[in-house]
């Protein structure tokens, strides 16, 4: 069997992998970008790191997200969005984070 379909594990689509032994996988994967971007609190960083250390399925997905972030940084190096767009994106990202956190 492939890594994605190990016994007892399945993929939940856009939220990332779900390991039945780790019920908070969806919440961790929803916050993984804050960890990658260094935008989470120390407590959140510790909680996410602990989960990634304990959950191979999420650690694999985290690695994919990390590679995507690196690829975007390489391909878009030197380009900067206009400040008005950046401000609108910050607002939308914070709204999304608040909605998911509820």
Can you say whether the dihedral through the CA atoms of 43, 46, 49, 53 is positive or negative?
negative
pTM of the predicted model, to two decimals? 0.55
CA nearest to 5, candidates 15, 22, 18: 18
Q: Say what the pLDDT of residue 87 is.
A: 94
Mean pLDDT of successive 10-residue stretches along the chain, which has 102 residues: 38 47 79 90 93 91 92 84 92 76 57
Integer Cα distance of 1 and 93 in angstroms: 37
């Amino acid at each position: 069997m492939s890594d994605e379909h190990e016994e007892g594990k399945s993929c939940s689509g856009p939220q990332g992998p779900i390991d039945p032994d780790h019920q908070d996988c969806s919440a961790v994967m929803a916050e993984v970008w804050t960890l990658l971007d260094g935008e989470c609190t120390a407590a959140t960083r510790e909680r996410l790191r602990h989960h990634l250390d304990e959950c191979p399925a999420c650690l694999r997905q985290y690695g994919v997200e990390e590679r995507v972030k690196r690829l975007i940084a390489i391909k878009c190096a030197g380009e900067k969005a206009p400040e008005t767009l950046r401000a609108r994106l910050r607002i939308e990202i914070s709204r999304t984070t608040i909605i998911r956190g509820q």
